[in-house]
Amino acid sequence: MSPQQNPEITRKVLVTGASGLLGGAVAALLRAKGHHVRTFQRRPSAGATDEVLGSLIDPAAMRRATEGMDAVIHLAAKVSFTGSWHDFVSTNITGTHTLLEASKHAGVKDFVFVSSPSVAHFGEPLAGSGAGTADPERARGNYAKSKATAELNALAQDAPDFHVAAIRPHVVWGPGDTQLVERVIERAKGGRLPLLDHGAALIDTTYIDNAAAAIVRGLERMEFAHGRALVVSNGEPRPVGELISGICAAGGAPAPRLNVPGWLARGAGSVIERVWLAAGARNLVHDEPPMTRFLAEQLSTAHWFDQRETREVLDWAPEVSIDEGLHRLAAHYGGVRPRKANRTQVR
C-alpha cells in the first residue's frame, strides 16, 4: 500500500494560504489526521508551530518552506473579481511556478494544486458538466485566466517521481467566510443585493468541511488523482436565489427583493469594472466593485457539475449537506435555522 493510500502513515505537508478559510480548514484536518503541517503565508498566524513567512515569488522563501516536506497543498492565490493582470500573474502564475520548482528541488513527491472551476467556465451555462479543460484564452476575468494558466503549468509537471493533481472546489462557503457569506449579508442588510433573472439560475456550491476533506483526499489518493483536474461540489444544485436567501436568513439579513435582468447586469458589470479599475489605479478605491461582468455571469447562468468521476477517483462523498451547512451558519451568527430533509444529490 502506498503512503497516499495508507492514512496511518504520517507525512510532512506544506500548506500555502493557510491563513484563509479553506487553507486553515485543510491544515486543521491534516493535523487531526496526524500529519506534520508546515504553513506558508505572509503574516504570522496564531497557534502555528511550524510556519514560514514570505512571498510566493521569493525563491529563497520557497526553498525554506519546502525543505524536508513530503507533499505540498497549494491554496495561496490572489482571489478577486477585479484587479490588474500584473498582480494576478505575479501571485497566481509566477508564484505557482516558483513553488513548483522549489518543491521538485526539495524532493517533494506529491503536489495538490487547488484551482477553480472558473478556469473552464466561458460564460455559457454549465449543467451537469465534467471538469473540462482549463483554457486561459476563453476563461472570464483575470482571476480565472491566471488560475487556468497556473493549473496547466502545474499539471504539465506531473511525472512518475513528482505527482501533481488539480482540485477545483466550487463556490466554497461556511462560518467565517468573508469572500461570499459576509459580502452577501452585508449587502443584503444595506439593500444593495439584487437577484439576477429572479435568482433562477441553478448552481452548486461546496460547504467548507466538504471542500477541505476533498482536497486532503486528493493528497491521500494521489496515485489515482495525479495528472487530473477534478471539480468538487456538494452535488446539490439549487437556484442561486434560494441559496442567497438561505445565507441571508442565517445571518439575520432580509432576503433580496430587487430583481435585475441578467443581460443588463452583465453589460453594467463591464462598465463598472472599467471605472472601478481606473479609480483603483489612483488609489481611490480598495474594495471589490458592486458588480463585474464575471460576477453577473456567475449569478445569472447555471453552473453545476457531474460529480461521479470526482467521487470515484477520490473515494469520497460530502458529509455536510447544504441544509446542514445553513443550520451551522445560523448557529455561527447566533440564530437557529430549522433543518430540512436532505435533498437528492446530483452525481
Residue numbers annotated as active site: 143
CA distance linking residue 58 with residue 229, whole number of Å: 27
Q: Quick check: helix, strand or coil at residue 345?
A: coil
For 2-33, letters b (16+ CB in 10 Å) and e give: ebbeeeeeebebbbbbbbbbbbbbbbebbeee
Rg (C-alpha) for the chain, rounded Å, is 20
Task: Compute the distance between CA of residue 241 and CA of residue 222 in angstroms, rounded to an integer.
Answer: 37
Q: CA 185, 15, 72: angle at the middle one, nearest 5? A: 135
Residue 234 to residue 245: CA distance in whole angstroms: 18
The whole-angstrom separation of Cα 299 and Cα 89 is 26
